[in-house]
């Protein structure tokens, strides 16, 4: 696979792709390793996962720099991503025994009824480039410790990261075949899902890709989990701490150079604080440092590919052509690299592109509303439902509004984020199923009911 550094437009050394024979060998190995891996004592699997956390920390700088070269992630964010992957490994190493414990149910006096949580087999993960380490580890950690084995089809612009993820598990002591990366294009995925040795599939990516994977998985009667992006609302009510909301809002929009499915994308601001918020928000956006992602003080790096930068610019221009107002940014930066500046657009028609589509870059759409009720209505006026954020000094009010936002998660006075301790996923066109926490761990387990009746009571 060809690779390119998006900060410099320089070609990186290509990574050799796997052919059909390589894929078959990987599937055969996964099928061969699964029985012995699933039968290993849970304590052994937990220890190996804790060892994987150690490997990640020992090689943090190497892995961070690789992500920065392959997809342009600012180096400080890349280091944080490696640490977060170590955290998810440690979390499941610590809590797997609790999460996998049998559930005991009511039954007749002469019997015992329980649910046992048992692995299914090889699980395929189709993962994106924007968080190339974290997206994979939040799948791999719970599934491996539960006894499944993993197969990864990573995005085609981060094949080097795909390779080092497999190396992390091997270095930690996992058996060969417990986790494998398939360096293949998207055209190979349908056949892998259809293979009888693969027992489930999870995808994080675009809506069209999710629909294609879901169709194949459904036809094969295999469980699937889909996380398909979002257009998250960031609701600022009339009693919000405006200064803090603006400061955190900038971070929520530009984290990972704006390339995040749970980034704040639609800023819905009450009229009473609208002008104050916009002024503070624009000032904070303009203060960000855009530049070389390998530099420590860079806030916003390049977009991961040239076509992605062009997509963001087209969305901004379409919205301006529809009558919106440009407050700052709005033009790709001159010079090498695929840089798009922090951008703020206001006065947006409700049917304009930035109001209806997901904008996967550092461009914010700001809307003025007259009431709490209108804010909730606009927040829910989207085909997506991944995350959301509500800002108010009244915590009871914040929780009440959060309950009415149609999404998989809502944070009050905080930016939306994923966390190993809480379930993550969306509704509507943002997909279905959950990752992380106990809920995510059980998506690819057989929830087996066992009824034990006393023989003397037959």
For 35-84, the DSSP string reads HHHHHS-HHHHHHHHHHHHHHHHHTHHHHHHHHHHHH---HHHHHHHHHH
The residues that are catalytic are 227, 261
Percent of the chain exceeding pLDDT 70 equals 99
**Tens of pLDDT, residues 244-264:** 999 999 999 999 999 999 999
Residue 420, domain member (yes or no):
no
Hunting for tokens 């190996």 — which residue is that?
A: 48
Max distance between CA atoms of the chain, in angstroms, equals 83
pLDDT at 458: 60
β pairing state of 325-328 and 384-385: unpaired
pLDDT at 300: 98
pLDDT at 283: 98
What average pLDDT does the structure give for the chain?
Answer: 97
Instruction: Please state, in angstroms and rounded to a whole number, the distance separating the CA atoms of residues 378 and 178.
Output: 46
Look at the chain and report how many structural domains it folds into: 2
Q: Is the pLDDT of residue 457 over 70?
A: no
Helix%, strand%, coil% for the chain, nearest 5: 45, 20, 35
**Tens of pLDDT, residues 167-201:** 999 999 999 999 999 999 999 999 999 999 999 99
- Here the CATH number for the domain that contains residue 402 is 3.40.309.10
Nearest CA to 358 among 375, 383, 338?
Answer: 383
Report how far Cα 309 is from the mean position of its chain's Cα atoms.
20
Q: Is the pLDDT of residue 139 over 70?
A: yes
- Here the CATH number for the domain that contains residue 182 is 3.40.605.10
Residue 421, domain member (yes or no):
no
* Cα radius of gyration (the chain): 23
Angular region, 428: left φ>0, alpha ψ -120 to 50, beta rest: left
Residue 294, domain member (yes or no):
yes
Tokens of 228: 């398909």
pLDDT at 145: 98
Q: Is the domain of 207 the same as that of 154?
A: yes
Q: Is the domain of 274 the same as that of 305?
A: yes
Q: Which domain holds residue 353?
A: 232-412
Residue 151, domain member (yes or no):
yes
Q: Is the domain of 238 the same as that of 210?
A: no
Nearest CA to 179 among 99, 131, 124, 100?
Answer: 124
Instruction: Please state, in angstroms and rounded to a whole number, the distance separating the CA atoms of residues 210 and 214.
Output: 6
DSSP 409: -
Residue 252, domain member (yes or no):
yes
pLDDT at 455: 79
Residue 101, domain member (yes or no):
yes
Q: Is the domain of 289 the same as that of 375?
A: yes
Q: Is the domain of 273 the same as that of 355?
A: yes
Q: Is the domain of 197 the same as that of 141?
A: yes
Q: Is the domain of 166 the same as that of 267?
A: no
Cβ count within 10 A of residue 278: 19
Residue 457, domain member (yes or no):
no
Q: Is the domain of 214 the same as that of 256?
A: no
**Tens of pLDDT, residues 266-285:** 999 999 999 999 999 999 99
Q: Is the domain of 265 the same as that of 312?
A: yes
**Tens of pLDDT, residues 288-330:** 999 999 999 999 999 999 999 999 999 999 999 999 999 999 9
Q: Is the domain of 158 the same as that of 290?
A: no
Tokens of 230: 């979002």
Q: What is the pTM of this model?
A: 0.97
Percent of the chain exceeding pLDDT 90 equals 99
Q: Is the domain of 209 the same as that of 244?
A: no
Instruction: Please state, in angstroms and rounded to a whole number, the distance separating the CA atoms of residues 440 and 423.
Output: 6
Average pLDDT over residues 126-141: 98
Q: Is the domain of 292 the same as that of 404?
A: yes
Instruction: Please state, in angstroms and rounded to a whole number, the distance separating the CA atoms of residues 319 and 70.
Output: 30
Q: Is the pLDDT of residue 456 over 80?
A: no
If one compares 458 and 252, the residue with the highest pLDDT of the two is 252
Residue 336, domain member (yes or no):
yes
**Tens of pLDDT, residues 49-108:** 999 999 999 999 999 999 999 999 999 999 999 999 999 999 999 999 999 999 999 999
């Amino acid at each position: 696979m060809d690779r390119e550094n998006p900060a410099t437009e320089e070609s990186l050394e290509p990574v050799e792709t796997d052919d059909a024979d390589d894929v078959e060998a990987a599937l055969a190995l996964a099928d061969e390793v699964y029985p012995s891996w699933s039968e290993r004592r849970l304590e052994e699997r937990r220890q190996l996962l804790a060892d994987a956390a150690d490997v990640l920390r020992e090689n943090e700088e190497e892995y961070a720099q690789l992500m920065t070269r392959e997809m342009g992630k600012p180096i400080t964010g890349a280091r944080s991503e490696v640490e977060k992957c170590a955290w998810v490994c440690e979390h499941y190493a610590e809590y797997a025994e609790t999460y996998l414990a049998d559930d005991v149910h009511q039954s007749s006096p002469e019997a015992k009824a329980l649910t046992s949580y048992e692995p299914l087999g090889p699980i395929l993960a189709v993962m994106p480039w924007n968080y190339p380490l974290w997206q994979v580890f939040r799948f791999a950690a719970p599934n491996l410790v539960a006894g499944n084995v993993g197969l990864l089809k990573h995005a085609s612009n981060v094949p080097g990261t795909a390779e080092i993820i497999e190396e992390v598990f091997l270095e930690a002591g996992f058996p060969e075949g417990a986790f494998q990366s398939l360096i293949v294009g998207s055209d190979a995925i349908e056949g892998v899902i259809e293979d009888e040795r693969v027992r489930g599939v999870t995808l994080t990516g675009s809506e069209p890709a999710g629909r294609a994977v879901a169709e194949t998985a459904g036809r094969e009667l295999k469980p699937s989990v889909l996380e398909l992006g979002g257009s998250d609302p960031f609701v600022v009510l009339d009693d919000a701490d405006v200064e803090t909301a603006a400061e955190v809002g900038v971070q929520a929009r530009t984290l990972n150079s704006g390339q995040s499915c749970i980034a704040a994308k639609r800023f819905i601001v009450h009229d009473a604080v609208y002008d104050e918020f916009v002024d503070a928000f624009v000032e904070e956006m303009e203060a960000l440092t855009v530049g070389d992602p390998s530099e420590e003080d860079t806030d916003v790096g390049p977009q991961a590919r040239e076509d992605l930068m062009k997509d963001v610019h087209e969305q901004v221009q379409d919205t301006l052509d529809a009558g919106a107002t440009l407050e700052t940014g709005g033009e790709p930066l001159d010079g090498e690299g695929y840089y798009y500046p922090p951008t703020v657009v206001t006065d947006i028609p409700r049917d304009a592109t930035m109001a209806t589509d997901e904008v996967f870059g550092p461009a914010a759409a700001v809307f003025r509303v007259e009431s709490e009720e209108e804010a909730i209505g606009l927040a829910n006026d989207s085909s997506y439902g991944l995350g959301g954020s509500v800002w108010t000094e009244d915590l009871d009010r914040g929780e009440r509004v959060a309950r009415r936002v149609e999404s998989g998660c809502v944070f009050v006075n905080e930016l939306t984020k994923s966390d190993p301790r809480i379930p993550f996923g969306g509704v509507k066109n943002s997909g279905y199923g959950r990752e992380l926490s106990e809920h995510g761990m059980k998506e690819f387990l057989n929830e087996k009911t066992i009824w034990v009746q006393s023989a003397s009571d037959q």
